[in-house]
Amino acid sequence: MFTRTETFREFIRLYPIVSTIITIHVVLFLFTVLPIFPNYWFFEHLSGVNLYILEGEYWRLITPTFLHSGFTHMLFNSVSLLLFGPALERMLGGVKFLLVYLVSGLIANLATLLLEPLSYTHVGSSGAIFGLFGYYVAIIIFRKNWLSRQNSHIILVLCVLSLIMTFLQPNINITAHLFGLLGGFFLGVIPYYNKKELSNSIKDATYWASGKRRLFTSKSPLKILIWGIVISIVIIGIFSRK
C-alpha cells in the first residue's frame, strides 16, 4: 500500500493530485534558489506572516502550505506525501483528497494565526500532511475494513513517532502539526455519519433520554468525537497561555 512500484508515467496518471502538489513544491523551491527572481521574493509574498494576514493578505493562509525553507525541508515533506498520499487519493478520489489536504493545511495555518505571536512566520506543508495522518486515524477507528491491520499499525506508529519528533526538533511549527492532525481527523469523522448512521444516533439518543439505553458506549464514535473536541480545547488553552 505504501510501497511505490509504478513507473513515473503511471504514478502521474494514477495520482494526479499528489503529483501536482509535489510538482508545485519543487517548482517553488527552484524559484527560491535560481536567479530568476530575487531569492526573498516568494518568501516575502507567500509565507505565512500572522501580522500580514490580519492586515488582509488572506492568501497567506494557503500559500505557506506549498512553500519550503530549504531543500531538506521540501524533500522530506514531498517524500512523505509521495509515500502516504497516493493510497488516500485512490480511496477518496482526487477532489475529496485535495479538499482534505487543503482544509487540513488551512486549519493548521488558522491555528497558527490564532495561537502564535503576530510576528510569527512559517512555511511548509507539514500541517496538511499531518492532516492526512489524522484522516488515516479516522479510517482506522471508523472504517477498519478500508485498511489491513498491518497498514493500520504502520500509520499509527508513524503518527506517534511524528508527534514525538514534533516536540524534539527545533524550529518546528508545533501548532500547525497538532491542529493539522486534529483537522484531518475531524474531516475523516464527518463521512462516517451518513443518513442511516445519523438516524441510528438519533434513536440512540431517544433511548438514552428514556433511560433504556446508554448513548456513550466504550466504542461510541460520538464519544470519540467529543473527546477529540475536549482535547482540542485543552491544546488551545495550553498554547493560548504562552
- pLDDT above 80: residue 191: no
Tell me what pLDDT residue 17 has.
97
Question: Which H helix or E strand runs over 121?
Answer: strand 121-122
Catalytic residues: 126, 177
How sure is the predictor about 187, in pLDDT bands with cuts at 50, 70 and 90?
very high
What are residue 48's DSSP bridge partners?
122
Least confident segment among 98-102, 115-119, 165-169, 173-177:
165-169
The pLDDT assigned to 217 comes to 45
Which pLDDT score is estimated for 201? 45
DSSP H stretches of helix in the chain? 8-14, 16-33, 41-46, 50-54, 71-92, 94-115, 126-142, 149-168, 174-189, 195-209, 221-240
SS3 82: helix
CA dist 8 → 59, 94, 213 (Å): 32, 18, 55
Mean pLDDT over the full length of the chain: 83
Q: Is the pLDDT of residue 8 over 50?
A: yes
What's the pLDDT tens digit per position in 126-158? 999 999 999 999 999 888 888 888 888 889 888
Domains and CATH numbers, the chain: 8-192 (1.20.1540.10)
| Predicted confidence (pLDDT) at residue 5 exceeds the cutoff of 50 | yes
Contact 149, 94 (CB under 8 A): no
Percent of the chain with pLDDT over 90: 57
Confidence of residue 116 (pLDDT cuts 50, 70, 90): very high
Take residue 127 and report the three cell numbers written for it.
500541517
**Cα 189 to Cα 77: distance, rounded to the nearest angstrom:** 25
Question: Contact at 8 Å (CB) between 136 and 144?
Answer: no
Asked if 184 contacts 131 with a C-beta cutoff of 8 angstroms, the reply is yes
